[in-house]
Structure 1
C-alpha cells in the first residue's frame, strides 16, 4: 500500500501516526533550540520535549523495538501504548506538559504542544469512530518487522 493509498483510507490512526512523526521532529528540534536559554523552567521543559521525541519515535516506529537494544521494562511500556485510546492518552499527557511550559514564558515549545494535541485528537477520533489501529507500512507497520527477523 502506497502512502497515497494509506491517506485515502480515511483512517484517523494513520493520520495520527504521521502527525506523530511530525510531532517527533518538532519536539526534537524545539527541545534543542530552547535548551540553550538561561531560564531554568524552559530548560526543564526543553529536556522533557527532547525525551518525548524519543518516546514518540519508539511508539510510532515499532520496528525500532526489534532493532535497538532497550530494556524489557521500556519495551513493555511502549507496547502498552498500542490502542488508539492509549495513544491518544499518551499524546494528551505529552501535550499537557508542553502547554504547561507556557508558565515559564512564551517560547516556540507551543508549536510542539499544538502538534502533540493534534496527534492526540486524531487518535481519539479514530478510537471514537471505532477504527482499528492501522500502522503505516512505510513506518514499519504490519509485515515489515517480520521481514527483518
Structure 2
C-alpha cells in the first residue's frame, strides 16, 4: 500500500499517525527554539516538548523499538498506546501541557499544542467511528516490523 492509498483509505488513525510524525519534528524544533527564550518558566515546557518528541517517535514508528536498544520498561510503556483511544489520550495530555505554557507567556510552543491536539482529534475520530488502529506501512507498521525479527 502506497502513502496515497493509505490516505485514500479514510482511516483516521493513518491521519493521526502522520500528524504524529509532524508533531515529532515540530516538538523537537520548538522545544530547542524555546530553550533560549526569556521567560525562564517556558524552559520547563520546552524541555517537556523535547522529551515528548522522543517519546512520540517511538509511539508512531514501531520499527524503532526493534532496532534501538531500549529497556523492557520503556517498551512496555510504549506498547500501552496501541489503541486509538489510548493514543488520543496521550496526545490530548501532551497538548494540554503545551497549552498551559501560555500562562507564562506566548511562544511558539502553541504550534506544538495545536498539532498535538489535531493528532488527538484524529485518533479520537478513529475510535468513535470504530476504525481499528492501522499503522502506516511506510513508518514500519503491520508486517514491516515483523520482517526485521
TM-score, normalised to structure 2, is 0.98
Q: 1:12 aligned to 2:5? A: no
Q: How does 1:1-149 map to 2 (within 5 A)?
A: 1-149=1-149
**Partner Cα distance (2:27, 2:15) in 1:** 18
Aligned residue for 1:35, secondary structure, equals helix
Per-residue CA deviation, residues 107-129 of structure 1 (Å, 9 max, x unaligned), is: 00000000000000000000000
- 5+ residue gaps in structure 1? none
**Partner Cα distance (2:130, 2:17) in 1:** 16
**Partner Cα distance (2:120, 2:101) in 1:** 18
**Partner Cα distance (2:5, 2:116) in 1:** 24
Aligned residue for 1:142, secondary structure, equals coil
TM-aligned CA deviation for residue 38 of structure 1: 3.2
**Partner Cα distance (2:123, 2:33) in 1:** 28
Aligned length: 149
- 5+ residue gaps in structure 2? none
**Partner Cα distance (2:71, 2:36) in 1:** 30
* RMSD after superposition: 0.6
